Amino acid sequence: MFSLNGMTALVTGASGGIGSAIARSLAAQGARLALTGSNAAKLRAFKDELHESFGGEHVEITCDLSDPVQVEELVPAALATLGQLDILVNNAGITRDNLALRMKDEEWDQVIRINLEAAFRLMRAAVKPMMKARFGRIVSITSVVGLMGNPGQMNYAAAKAGLTGMTKALAQEIATRGITANCVAPGFIRSAMTDTLPEAQKAALNARIPLGRMGTGEEVGAAVAFLASREAGYITGQTLHVNGGMAMLS
C-alpha cells in the first residue's frame, strides 16, 4: 500500500529540515525525485544520500524561487531529466517576521514571492503534463499559522492562507483529469532551531499541544507520501493538519 514505484516527484526546498524529510519519505516509497533548492552543494550531497539509502536515479536542480525566470524553467528541467512528472510538492518557504507597524515592503514582497507566487507558477506549469497523463498529485505545505494567525507574521500567514485557497480553487479545475491538489499544514515541528531553545521554552510550547510534544519532519513526510499515492485519489481540495491536536480544525 502507498507504493510510489514508477512515479516521479519535484520537491522544492528539498535540502531543508522538513523538505529533506518529505524527500526521504517519497524516495522510501519508490519515487524518483527532482530535488530543488538554492544551495547546489547541499542538494548534491543530499541526492547522494538518497541514492545510498533508497536507490533510485534522483537529480538535483538549483533554483532561486525569488526569480520568476528560474521558477518557470524548473518544471521543464524536471521533465527533461525525469521524463515525466507525477507529483509536485511545494515545500520551500521563508520567513521575514516583523510587527505590522514595522514590516517593510520588501519583507512582505519576499515572503509572498517565494511562498505563494512561486507555488502558483509551479502549479500552473505542472498541471500541463499532468493533464496529458490524466494523473497527478500536487501537495503544498502550508502551516497552522495560515489558519490561526501569529503575531509578527502577517506576511507568512497571508502567504500560507493564500496557498490553501489557491489549492482549493485549482483542485476544482483539474479534478476531472485525475489530478488532486491538497495541503499539509504542520504545527510545531522539531528542527535544529527548536532543539536549541531553552528547556523551559520547549516545555511551554509542548504544553500547548495535546500530544505533549512537537512533531517530526518524518511525520510531515508520511502525510505527504499518503496524499501523493494512488490510494489517495478520492481526496482533493483538503488540508491534512499535522499539529498534535494543537488546533483541531475541520
CA–CA separation, 183 and 188 (whole Å) = 16
CB-based contact 35:9 (threshold 8 Å): no
Average pLDDT over residues 110-120: 98
CA–CA separation, 197 and 180 (whole Å) = 38
CA–CA separation, 202 and 197 (whole Å) = 6
Residue 234 annotated in active site: no
Average pLDDT over residues 132-159: 96
The string of pLDDT tens digits covering residues 26-85 is 999 999 999 999 999 999 999 999 999 999 899 999 999 999 999 999 999 999 999 999
CA–CA separation, 199 and 187 (whole Å) = 19
The pTM of the full predicted model, rounded to 2 decimals, is: 0.95
Looking at residue 12, what is its pLDDT?
Answer: 97
Confidence band of 198 (pLDDT split at 50, 70, 90): confident
The domains found in the chain, sorted by start residue, are 8-241 (3.40.50.720)
Residue 193 has pLDDT above 70, yes or no: no
Out of 135, 156, 188, 226, the active site residue is: 156
